[in-house]
């Protein structure tokens, strides 16, 4: 899996579906009976397990978007790691709820893991994998033309994605560098790097004042400077890792 839908909104929908599935599974099938839970407890455990599933998946949705934005790519190892991360925080969350004064569950942690949590993992894993694969299809098709707009209505720049080289901070403006007729041009637009990065997630931040189009990365001038198409930019230590992966 080399793609990720970074939309938190889309993943929250997946989290809601997971929560509903957990509630139905726990409340109707009742696979977690340890002989100590009455009807009231079954209801609370079903609601608690489903709410915690939604919250844990929401944490994953936010975290994976930050990772994806930072490195601008995804991989099978990151995908597997994300799912494992969800199950780890979900395990400790539902076990704490299970042992809370509300439920007073009777299983030890090892019993809870082997008898209850493994069942949850088996029924959730296929659902999560299929849902995350489906979300990739919901990513809007990106046009080859990028449109930059500023606070001023006259601040508009339309260029091909392949022509965009980098974007630099210029006080209350950003300076957009692009190739036109084989020459480097630039335009000032009243905006911020933060907004630009939110709108165009393929960009890579290499410095607090600079974003680059990774396709224009050429080489390193030295340990603190990169060479792009017709321009060189400094790289700060905080962002060096993101460009080392290019």
Instruction: Break the chain into its structural domains and give their ranges.
Output: 8-137, 145-244
Residue 107: its pLDDT value, please? 84
User: What is the percent of the chain with per-residue pLDDT over 70, rounded to a whole number?
Assistant: 91
Rounded mean pLDDT, 190-210 = 92
Measuring CA to CA, which residue among 2, 8, 136 is closest to residue 72? 2
Tell whether pTM > 0.75: no
Residue 236 pLDDT > 90: yes
Residue 38 pLDDT > 70: no
Contact 57, 105 (CB under 8 A): no
- Helix runs in the chain, H state only: 8-24, 39-71, 76-98, 109-111, 118-137, 193-199, 240-244
Contact 19, 53 (CB under 8 A): yes
Task: Say how far apart CA 185 and CA 164 lie, in whole Å.
Answer: 10
Q: Which of the two residues, 115 and 64, has the higher pLDDT score?
A: 64
Rounded mean pLDDT, 241-246 = 77
Rounded mean pLDDT, 45-70 = 90
Residue 154: its pLDDT value, please? 81
Residue 35: its pLDDT value, please? 59
Quickly state the pLDDT bin for 33 (edges 50, 70, 90): low
User: What is the percent of the chain with per-residue pLDDT over 90, rounded to a whole number?
Assistant: 54
Task: Say how far apart CA 219 and CA 216 lie, in whole Å.
Answer: 10
Residue 75: its pLDDT value, please? 85
Rounded mean pLDDT, 211-218 = 94
Residue 25 pLDDT > 90: no
Residue 192 pLDDT > 80: yes
Residue 211: its pLDDT value, please? 96
Residue 1 pLDDT > 70: no
Distances in Å between the alpha carbon of 99 and those of 45, 55, 95, 225?
11, 19, 6, 54
Quickly state the pLDDT bin for 37 (edges 50, 70, 90): low
Of 3-12, 63-72, 175-184, where does mean pLDDT reach its minimum? Answer: 63-72
Averaged pLDDT of the chain: 87
Multiple choice CATH, 145-244, 2.40.50.1020, 1.10.760.10, 2.130.10.30, 3.40.50.300:
2.40.50.1020
Structural tokens at position 183: 């020459």
Residue 72 pLDDT > 70: no
Task: Say how far apart CA 134 and CA 167 lie, in whole Å.
Answer: 33
Rounded mean pLDDT, 123-143 = 81
Q: Which of the two residues, 242 and 90, has the higher pLDDT score?
A: 90
Residue 58: its pLDDT value, please? 96
Rounded mean pLDDT, 189-202 = 91
């Amino acid at each position: 899996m080399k793609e990720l839908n970074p939309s938190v909104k889309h993943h929250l929908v997946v989290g809601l579906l997971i929560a509903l599935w957990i509630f139905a599974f726990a409340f109707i099938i009742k696979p977690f009976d340890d002989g100590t839970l009455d009807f009231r407890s079954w209801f609370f455990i079903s609601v608690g397990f489903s709410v915690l599933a939604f919250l844990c998946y929401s944490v994953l949705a936010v975290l994976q978007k930050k990772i994806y934005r930072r490195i601008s790519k995804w991989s099978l190892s990151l995908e597997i790691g994300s799912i494992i991360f969800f199950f780890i925080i979900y395990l400790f969350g539902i076990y704490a709820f299970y042992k809370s004064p509300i439920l007073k569950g009777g299983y030890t942690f090892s019993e809870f893991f082997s008898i209850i949590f493994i069942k949850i993992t088996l029924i959730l894993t296929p659902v999560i994998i299929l849902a995350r694969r489906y979300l990739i299809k919901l990513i809007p098709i990106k046009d080859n033309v990028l449109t930059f707009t500023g606070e001023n209505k006259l601040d508009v720049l339309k260029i091909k994605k392949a022509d965009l080289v980098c974007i630099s901070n210029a006080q209350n403006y950003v300076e957009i560098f692009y190739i036109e007729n084989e020459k480097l041009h630039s335009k000032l637009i009243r905006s911020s790097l933060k907004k630009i990065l939110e709108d165009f997630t393929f960009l890579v931040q290499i410095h607090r004042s600079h974003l680059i189009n990774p396709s224009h990365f050429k080489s390193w001038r030295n340990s603190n400077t990169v060479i792009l198409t017709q321009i060189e930019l400094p790289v700060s230590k905080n962002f060096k890792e993101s460009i080392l992966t290019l």
